[in-house]
Amino acid sequence: MNDHQLTIFQHLGELRRRVIISVLALLVGSAVSFAFFRQLIELLVRPAKDLQTGVGGQLVYTEVTELLTTSIKVSFVAGFIIAFPVILYQVVMFLAPGLTRKEKRYLIAFLPGALVAFVAGVAFGYFILTPPALHFLLTFGGGVAVPMIKVSNIVNLMVRLLFWMGIAFETPIVMYLLAQLGVVNARRLARFRRYWLVVAFILGAIITPTFDPVNQALVAVPLLALYELGILLARLAGRGRRSSEAITPVGRAD
């Protein structure tokens, strides 16, 4: 009983250490980002300012604390992105003792791929998805009213859109990892393809800020392509697993 309790306390101590490291990384990243909050906000609102007409491209705020709270929110999100590799590494290392050597290798190899996929999703959202979505919103009902956009509104919109596009681009990486671990296979994923078609357009409606089907398709079509890429990667992972399983007995016989 004492050994069992000691094991539990050791796990809790390890969890506490990993959480503290992750929180410190988040705080440091947020502090560094806050020093550049002007540049970060300017980067996020640039697509709207480029399209905005009638008010000289100026954004407004209507509450005394609005700009401050928006700056803190942007700094926190940017800090999380900076600290994301550290946080993800801490999660993997906490799970590592319960994994096999091969599973540890797959998870560690997953880290750079996950980071690259997230950045690619953010870039797609910023350069491809955002301009037509904002153009639709800012030109809808032109002449009826003059757009005066609150800085908190456009920042919240951009953060939500870019974050979820970054998460969406993780799809093929996660599918490949699950296939490597033997949780799923390409055949099972291919059977789910017709359901993913519906899911992709539902996610497109949720992620995009407009009811415009064209903008929703800008999200849904890449999600469908990413899923197909995930199936291809899962098929390659399955072949690799079968090859390793075929070679293993020979190695043991030697």
Smallest CA-to-CA distance from 189 within 234, 238, 239, 219 is with: 234
pLDDT at 54 over 60: no
Please state whether 145 falls in left (phi above 0), alpha (psi between -120 and 50) or beta. beta
pLDDT at 243 over 90: no
Q: Tokens representing 177?
A: 């990892």
Question: Is residue 220 classed as helix, strand or coil in its secondary structure?
Answer: helix
Instruction: Report pLDDT for 210.
Output: 72
Whole-structure pTM value: 0.83
CA atoms within 13 A on the CB side of 71: 14
Instruction: Report pLDDT for 109.
Output: 84
Instruction: Report pLDDT for 234.
Output: 93
Strand ranges for 116-229 from DSSP E: none
Q: What does the pLDDT average to over 79-87?
A: 92
Q: What does the pLDDT average to over 91-106?
A: 83
Q: What does the pLDDT average to over 205-215?
A: 79
